[in-house]
Structure 1
Amino acid sequence: MWDFCTATLPNYRMKIFSYILLFQLITFLAVGQEIKAPSYFLEFIEENPEKFHLTYNDNSGKIIKWRDNELSTVGGLVYWLYALEYTRQVSNGGIRPVERIDMEEIQKFDTYSNKMKIWSDYLSYKKKLLKNKVRLREVVSGLINFATDANGDFLMSRLGLDSVQRAVGTFHMHTTTTLYPISSAIIHVHNPFMENEQEFMHRIKNENLNDFRQNVFQLYDSLNQDSLGILKDSFQFNPEKHKVYSGLLTEHLPMGIISDYNLLIQNINMRSKEVFWNDMEEEWINAVEAPLMSDPTMAKHYKHCGRLVYSTVNSVSISLYGTMKNGRTAQLTATFENLTETEHIDLALVINDFGFSMIENKEYLQKVIDKIDVIRLKK
């Protein structure tokens, strides 16, 4: 989620944005509590069939597909690939998961966002910070469970830019477009040097994809080398333009096919050798799944579970897999895009309930299947 300087927004807007920003933490800590099946999603998908892509399957034979083979924006779902590349390098002995990373090395890719603050507060609460240093494993965990974009940029640096970009091929995600540092891209489109707004907007809107990525990588390289934080301290942002500027990034976010991502998490769920080899599974459990599975309710019902939620100013996405102790396995990947502000808020606040209701609540799952059938009949 993109969240610049919300503390300076008018109170009513600050509450809205803060609520959206906090929903990931709230659902993260409360995931073991009772899940309430959200009726709003059923209404939304029937009224807005052009605004979502969805794919679901489980081992009972239930399958849902809606626009799941179309190239579309996948945004932060690419962070699954970052985490897989991390576990691959751990299994090869190239990096140590317990290596201590100074938080300043991560925060230099961030500009005082709420997501970074929430993750930092969580680390403090869990006593995972030692002299402002955090284990590399926790950086990956924060990327997946809090979608902290700065963690992704840092991991590009720590794992190697080429290695992260090659992960698209390593893990058979060939339809995903070239990966780039998303946090740096967010800064790039927020006019950090306070250029003339009209000229800045015109320039960004007219950047082709290659020029956009080149400019983002230049900023990323500068931030990566900015050990004293001089460049970061020079940035200035206009919070009143947050929504307008954030919208500039939408067309440049990573693209992919969500059915491919659902197959990816199915392979993860099944512990397939397509994605796990050597000792990768062990570190995946520690870095990605442990935060969810540490909840007693989750541990009671699941063997393992993983979830990635990502949100922008006009989109929300979820990718979720789980294997339950009763033998049930399920995978869901869904993206909702081109949302109005109201739609975004309504969807974001219950996206977690939607995901877990899909894989846990057979009655709700059938309602979604029925709605998709209705949509097809209307086409």
Structure 2
Amino acid sequence: MNIKCKVSYAVLFLSAIVFADVYKFNVMAQSPYIIVDYIKANEKDSPISFMLEVNDEPLISVNPFTKMPLASTFKLTLAVEYARQVGEKMLKPHAKVDIDTIEQYYLPKIDGDAHLKWLEYIEENNLLQNDSISISEVVKGMVMFNSDANTDFLMNYLGIENINATIRTLGLRDHSEVYPIGGALAIADYINLKENLSETELEKRITKMTNREYINQAIIIQDLMNTNSLPSEVKNAKIATSNFDIQQIWIDRFISATANDYMSLLDIINSRTYFNKDAQDELNHVLEYLVYDPIIEENLNHFGFKNGNISGVLTDARYAEDKEGNKIEIVLMMNDLSQKDYNTILNNIDQFMMRCILDENFRDKVVTMLN
């Protein structure tokens, strides 16, 4: 498929900006080659992974087995587990949950107002019925808007043990255990409420925790959310939202995996043969919400993605099938970015990823430059 690059590539996700991780950028300042140049210059010295496949043929594989924090891209595993349970008749996508139940998991100021934007969206689109929302829409809110409250609610609803079991079943060998991200972020405030430690003491306490202790503490806090009994002092997460060192511990210990893990996951999703029809249909429904975007509709049979960004970390996983039936998967993961590099890459990553999918000539140039 040969499609000339257009400025409209950069406009493609203006609708998605409302839904996914918010990209605030100047369209005219974008250049997808900035990403290529950065990968080429830093792949041997910095935590960078980049993989590109077309029709199961690896075209680029840069540091595929380097394990990194996933940011919100890990939420793809929850979408997969949700679809699996729908396919196995364990839950119904149109089952309702009270919106107040989801609010039990909301920690103010931790997700860039993503949850609040989701609430606005479901109200504006009349998706609330008697203050209830369908599970399917909750999953879409996690994927489209990146709501952390929806994410932690779904961990409880689907079962953390089920999510982690599916990760293992899918063969994602280097994927770390999934655990409540809101619960983890609130650990410092929870310990402080009980023991009244200084922030320096809190940092030392959390840093010294084993991985198991850290996850168990996050689950304890999640259990309080489950019963709507989380103290307001913890829910406000004042320490976590104001102390950079505490935030950095959370980032360093974040759910992690390799680009190879997520390439394998995209292969499974894009094959459309691994899951049964009900599961695949529901997975398509929650991941491929841009299907009616004019550029997607004109050039692709289907397209889905999940991305994420937290301080110094950018991750992005996308899959598509073009009009000729070519299947394309692409994964980009970066960690330990300086603030300047983080901003520059954030401003250009979307156009780069979409050019790799939509523009065969550009894709060929990237392959040449990085091989």
Of stretches 124-133 and 63-72 in structure 1, the one that deviates more from structure 2 is 124-133
2:368 corresponds to: 370
Please state how far the C-alpha of 1:230 moved relative to its aligned partner.
4.7
SS state of the match for residue 324, structure 2?
A: coil
| Equivalent pairs, count | 346
Please state how far the C-alpha of 1:78 moved relative to its aligned partner.
2.6
Contact 1:189 1:248 in 2 (8 A): no
1:154 corresponds to: 153
1:126 corresponds to: 125
1:67 corresponds to: 63
Q: State how far apart, in whole Å, the 2-side matches of 1:191 and 1:357 are.
A: 45
Q: Pick from 82, 87, 98 the counterpart of residue 83 of structure 2.
A: 87
Please state how far the C-alpha of 1:57 moved relative to its aligned partner.
0.5
Contact 2:93 2:135 in 1 (8 A): yes
Give the TM-score taking structure 2 as reference length. Answer: 0.83
- Alpha carbons of structure 1 residues 295 and 133: separation in structure 2 relative to 1, 3 Å: farther
Please state how far the C-alpha of 1:167 moved relative to its aligned partner.
1.4
- Alpha carbons of structure 1 residues 173 and 364: separation in structure 2 relative to 1, 3 Å: same
1:98 corresponds to: 94
1:185 corresponds to: 184
Please state how far the C-alpha of 1:95 moved relative to its aligned partner.
1.0
- Alpha carbons of structure 1 residues 192 and 325: separation in structure 2 relative to 1, 3 Å: farther
Of stretches 280-289 and 242-251 in structure 1, the one that deviates more from structure 2 is 242-251
**Superimposed CA distance per residue, residues 36-55 of structure 1 (whole angstroms, 9 cap, x where no aligned partner):** 65232123223322231111
Root-mean-square deviation over aligned CA pairs? 2.9
- Alpha carbons of structure 1 residues 241 and 306: separation in structure 2 relative to 1, 3 Å: same
Contact 1:74 1:253 in 2 (8 A): yes
- Alpha carbons of structure 1 residues 209 and 287: separation in structure 2 relative to 1, 3 Å: same
Q: State how far apart, in whole Å, the 1-side matches of 2:224 and 2:328 are.
A: 42
Contact 1:147 1:309 in 2 (8 A): no
Please state how far the C-alpha of 1:175 moved relative to its aligned partner.
2.3
Contact 1:27 1:352 in 2 (8 A): no
Contact 1:317 1:335 in 2 (8 A): yes
Contact 2:20 2:146 in 1 (8 A): no
Contact 1:36 1:357 in 2 (8 A): no
- Alpha carbons of structure 1 residues 324 and 96: separation in structure 2 relative to 1, 3 Å: same
Please state how far the C-alpha of 1:301 moved relative to its aligned partner.
2.1
Q: Answer yes or no: is 1:253 the counterpart of 2:254.
A: yes
Please state how far the C-alpha of 1:331 moved relative to its aligned partner.
0.2
- Alpha carbons of structure 1 residues 234 and 334: separation in structure 2 relative to 1, 3 Å: closer
Q: State how far apart, in whole Å, the 1-side matches of 2:319 and 2:338 are.
A: 28
Letter in 1 for 2:199: E
2:300 corresponds to: 302
**Superimposed CA distance per residue, residues 138-162 of structure 1 (whole angstroms, 9 cap, x where no aligned partner):** 1111222233222221111111232
Contact 2:47 2:68 in 1 (8 A): no
Q: State how far apart, in whole Å, the 2-side matches of 1:269 and 1:64 are.
A: 18
Give the TM-score taking structure 1 as reference length. Answer: 0.82
2:285 corresponds to: 286
Q: State how far apart, in whole Å, the 2-side matches of 1:371 and 1:197 are.
A: 47
Percent of aligned pairs with the same amino acid? 19
Q: State how far apart, in whole Å, the 2-side matches of 1:246 and 1:35 are.
A: 30
Please state how far the C-alpha of 1:61 moved relative to its aligned partner.
4.6
Within 5 Å, which residues of 2 pair with 1:101-250? 101-113=97-109, 114-189=113-188, 193=192, 195-226=197-228, 230-231=231-232, 235-238=236-239, 241-250=242-251
Q: State how far apart, in whole Å, the 2-side matches of 1:62 and 1:240 are.
A: 41
Q: State how far apart, in whole Å, the 1-side matches of 2:166 and 2:143 are.
A: 16
Q: State how far apart, in whole Å, the 1-side matches of 2:283 and 2:28 are.
A: 26
1:348 corresponds to: 346
Please state how far the C-alpha of 1:76 moved relative to its aligned partner.
3.1
SS state of the match for residue 130, structure 1?
A: coil
Contact 1:37 1:357 in 2 (8 A): no
2:13 corresponds to: none
Contact 2:54 2:327 in 1 (8 A): yes
Please state how far the C-alpha of 1:236 moved relative to its aligned partner.
4.6
SS state of the match for residue 290, structure 2?
A: helix
Contact 1:28 1:145 in 2 (8 A): no
Contact 1:188 1:216 in 2 (8 A): yes
SS state of the match for residue 318, structure 2?
A: strand
Q: State how far apart, in whole Å, the 2-side matches of 1:261 and 1:61 are.
A: 15
Please state how far the C-alpha of 1:231 moved relative to its aligned partner.
4.1
